Amino acid sequence: MGNNYFNTLPLREQLAELAKCRFMDMSEFADGVEALKGKKMVVVGCGAQGLNQGLNLRDSGLDVAYALRPEAIEQKRQSWKNATENGFVVGTYEELIPTADVVLNLTPDKQHSSVVEAVMPLMKEGACLSYSHGFNIVEEGMKIRDDLTVIMVAPKCPGSEVRAEYVRGFGVPTLIAVHEDNDPKGEGLALAKAYAVGTGGHKAGVLMSSFIAEVKSDLMGEQTILCGMLQTGSILCFDKMVEEGIDAGYASKLIQYGWETITEALKYGGVTNMLDRLSNPAKIKAFDLAEELKVIMRPLYNKHQDDIIDGTFSRVMMEDWANDDANLLKWRAETAETNFEKTPAGDVEISEQEFFDNGILMVAMVKAGVELAFETMTAAGIIAESAYYESLHETPLIANTIARKKLYEMNATISDTAEYGCYLYNHACVPLLADFMKGIKTDVIGKGLSVEDNGVDNARLIEVNAALRAHPVEAVGSRLRGYMADMKKIV
C-alpha cells in the first residue's frame, strides 16, 4: 500500500489538480471511437457499471470481453451470468488480461487494490488501465507500472441509466481524466475521449477533470448533501412529525417521496426553481430556515472537507475495511432500526404541490446542504463545475433511490465509501441540529403554513429572490444545464 498520493504533491500541484475541470466541446469528439477501434478491451467486474458500459462499448463497434475471478466463473455467479447471457467472451484474468490493450477496472472501490495488484503484472507492455473512480490512485496511493497509461472515465449516473440513455440515442454526463504520472505515450486523453464516445457520454456532456479533483469532490458531495443530509433530514423530519401528532404513514410518505419531488424541481431549475415552487410566505420561511441551518452546519461541512483533503477520512475508513467493516455494518443495522425506516408509507394521496407546501423544512435542508457543499468545495480549491456536479446535479439521483425503498435502498445503491461517509455525517449532524429542531413545528414540516393570506413584505421578498439567484451555484448551474438542454430535450 502506498502513501496518500495527494499528500505527496506540493501545494502548487495540489491546487492545480483540484482546479481542473473543463466542459468539453462536442467538436473535441469528432474522432469518435477511432482511438479504440480494433483494440481489445477487457472489463474486470460485471456488475451494473461493468455490464452496461460493456454493452454500450460493444454496440459502438468495440471489442469487449470480461475477465472474472475463477470462482465467479466456476460457480456461475451473477457476474458470470450477466456476461455470458449477453454473448460476451468471459475468461480468467490470466486468460484475458495479457491480450488486453485496455483494461477497464469496474469493480467496487474497496476491491481496487487487490484487483489492480492482480491485474497489473499480467498487463502487456504499454497497455491502458482505466478507472471509473480515482480513490485507489489518490487516496490509497496505488503506483501503476510506468509503461501503462492510466485514465478515468466516470459516467455520472447509475449503470442502468448509462445503458438506457445510450439505447435512446443519448448518453449520461461523464467525467474523464488522465493520470499525469502515467501517460507515457501521451495517448491518455485520446483513449479517454474515445471511451466516453463509446458509452454515449459525449452526447450528454463531458467534463475534463483530474483524478484528484474527482476524488476530493466526489467524496465531499456524497457524504454531505447527497446522502448524509438526506439521511439526517429523513430521520429528523419523521420523528418531529410523529412527535407533533401527524399520522406516521403520512409522515413516512411525505419524506420518502418528498425528496424526489422537490429535487426534481432542483434538477430543472436549481435552488431558485425549487424555492419558487413555494408560496411567497413559505419561500421566505424556507429561506430563513436554510440560513439558520447553514450557520449551524457550516463547521460540520468544513470538517468533512478538511478530513477529505488531508486524507483523514480515507485513512479512518480503510481502517474499518481492515477491521471487516465492523463500523459500516453496525451503522447499517442502526439505520434499519430508525422509525422512518420501519414505518411504511401510508396509503394517502399527496399531490405534487403538497410535497412542497408541507415540506418547507425539507426544501430548506436541501438548499442549505447544496449551498454549503458547493461553498465548502470551492473554498477548498475545487472548481465550480466539479462542485456543481458533485452537489446539486446528483442530489435528485440519490433522492430517487430513497423514493424506491427508503434509506436502505439509498445505502445499498451508493458505494461503500459514500455509505461510510454518510453515516459519519449523520452521527454528527443529528445532535448538531437538536436545538434547532426543538423550535420546529408542523407549519414547516407536515402541515404547511397556516396564513390568513399569502401577503408578504415586498422588500423582503425582493431580498430573498435576489439572494437566491445570486448564489454562485445558480450561475454555474444554469450554464451547465443550458449545455445539457441544448443537446437534450429540444421540446
Partner 1 sequence: MDSRICLENFSVNFDERFHLNNIDWTIEPSQHWVITGTNGSGKSALAAVLAGVGEMESGQISGLPSRVGLVSFEAQAELIAKELKKDDADIMDVIAIGTPVQEMIFENCADPELAAELVEKFGLSHLLDRAFRKLSTGETRKVMLIRALSSKPDLLILDEPFDGLDADTLAMLQQHLASIIDTTPMVMVLNRFDEMPSFITHVAYLEKDGHDGGKLAFKVDRKDESAFAELYQLLHLKTTDLQVPETDPASKLPALDPQQPLVKLTDATIKYDDTVIVDKLNWTIEPGKHWQLSGPNGSGKTGVLSLITGDHPQCYVNDIFVFGFQRGNGESIWQIKQFIGYVSTSLQWEYRVSVSCKNVIISGFYDSIGMYTKSTDSQKKIADEWLALLGMSDRADQPFNKLSYGDQRLLLIARAMVKHPPLLILDEPCLGLDDMNRQLVLALIEKICAGKETTVLYVNHHAEDQIAGIENYLALQKNA
Q: Say how many C-beta atoms besides its own lie within 10 A of residue 436's C-beta.
A: 16
- Provide the minimum distance between the beta carbon of 148 and partner 1 in the complex, in angstroms, as a whole number: 25
Residue 279 assigned to a binding site = yes
Please state, in angstroms and rounded to a whole number, the distance separating the CA atoms of residues 254 and 249: 9
Q: Which residues fall within 8 angstroms of residue 414, CB to CB, at 6 or more apart?
A: 222, 226, 227, 398, 401, 422
Please state, in angstroms and rounded to a whole number, the distance separating the CA atoms of residues 225 and 317: 19
Sole binder of partner 1 in the list 9, 24, 29, 59 (CB under 8 A): 59
Site size with partner 1, rule: CB under 8 A: 24
Which range in 165-173, 228-236, 241-249, 442-450 contacts partner 1 by CB under 8 A? 165-173
Residue 95 assigned to a binding site = no
Q: Which residues fall within 8 angstroms of residue 471, CB to CB, at 6 or more apart?
A: 271, 371
Residue 53 assigned to a binding site = no
Residue 77 assigned to a binding site = yes
Q: What does each C-alpha distance from 57 to 63, 158, 428 come to in angstroms?
A: 8, 16, 42
Site string for partner 1, 78-117 (x = CB under 8 A): -------xxxx-----------------------------
Span 191-230, contacts to partner 1 by CB under 8 A: 203
**110: closest CA among 305, 322, 333?**
322
Q: Which is nearer to partner 1, 19 or 487 (CB)?
A: 487
Please state, in angstroms and rounded to a whole number, the distance separating the CA atoms of residues 221 and 204: 21
- Provide the minimum distance between the beta carbon of 328 and partner 1 in the complex, in angstroms, as a whole number: 34
- Provide the minimum distance between the beta carbon of 491 and partner 1 in the complex, in angstroms, as a whole number: 6
Q: Are 182 and 150 in contact (CB under 8 A)?
A: yes
Which residues are bridge partners to 12 per DSSP?
Answer: none
Q: Are 10 and 17 in contact (CB under 8 A)?
A: no
Q: Which is nearer to partner 1, 37 or 145 (CB)?
A: 37
Q: Which is nearer to partner 1, 64 or 192 (CB)?
A: 64
Please state, in angstroms and rounded to a whole number, the distance separating the CA atoms of residues 143 and 60: 32
Q: Which is nearer to partner 1, 95 or 183 (CB)?
A: 95
- Provide the minimum distance between the beta carbon of 173 and partner 1 in the complex, in angstroms, as a whole number: 13
Q: Which three cell numbers stand for residue 61?
A: 463497434
Q: Are 415 and 287 in contact (CB under 8 A)?
A: no
Q: Are 199 and 55 in contact (CB under 8 A)?
A: no
- 77 sits near partner 1 (criterion: CB under 8 A): no
Sole binder of partner 1 in the list 49, 52, 53, 60 (CB under 8 A): 60
- 62 sits near partner 1 (criterion: CB under 8 A): yes
What strand order describes the sheet that includes 102-105?
Answer: 21-23, 206-209, 174-178, 149-155, 128-131, 102-105, 40-44, 63-67, 89-91
Q: Which is nearer to partner 1, 32 or 184 (CB)?
A: 32
- Provide the minimum distance between the beta carbon of 21 and partner 1 in the complex, in angstroms, as a whole number: 23
Active site residue 133: yes
Q: Which is nearer to partner 1, 38 or 431 (CB)?
A: 38
Please state, in angstroms and rounded to a whole number, the distance separating the CA atoms of residues 468 and 455: 20
- 168 sits near partner 1 (criterion: CB under 8 A): yes
The whole-angstrom distance between residue 295's C-alpha and the CA centroid of its chain comes to 25
Q: Which is nearer to partner 1, 56 or 136 (CB)?
A: 56
Residue 466 assigned to a binding site = no
Q: Which three cell numbers stand for residue 131?
A: 478507472
Residue 60 assigned to a binding site = no
Please state, in angstroms and rounded to a whole number, the distance separating the CA atoms of residues 425 and 308: 13
Please pick, among 112, 133, 393, 471, the residue that the annotation labels catalytic. Answer: 133
- Provide the minimum distance between the beta carbon of 39 and partner 1 in the complex, in angstroms, as a whole number: 11
Sole binder of partner 1 in the list 1, 71, 169, 450 (CB under 8 A): 169
Q: DSSP letters of 360-426?
A: HHHHHHHHHHHHHHHHHHHHTT--HHHHHIIIIITHHHHHHHHHHHHHHHHHHHS-HHHHHHHHHHH
- 40 sits near partner 1 (criterion: CB under 8 A): no
Which range in 53-61, 99-107, 129-137, 349-357 contacts partner 1 by CB under 8 A? 53-61
- Provide the minimum distance between the beta carbon of 26 and partner 1 in the complex, in angstroms, as a whole number: 10
Q: Which is nearer to partner 1, 248 or 487 (CB)?
A: 487
- 482 sits near partner 1 (criterion: CB under 8 A): no
Please state, in angstroms and rounded to a whole number, the distance separating the CA atoms of residues 17 and 9: 10
Sole binder of partner 1 in the list 7, 34, 121, 167 (CB under 8 A): 167
Binding-site residues for Mg(2+) sit at 218, 222, 390, 394
Residues at the contact surface with partner 1, assessed by CB under 8 A = 33, 37-38, 55, 58-63, 85-88, 167-170, 203, 487-491
Which residues are annotated as catalytic?
133
Binding-site residues for NADP(+) sit at 46-49, 69, 77, 79, 109-111, 159
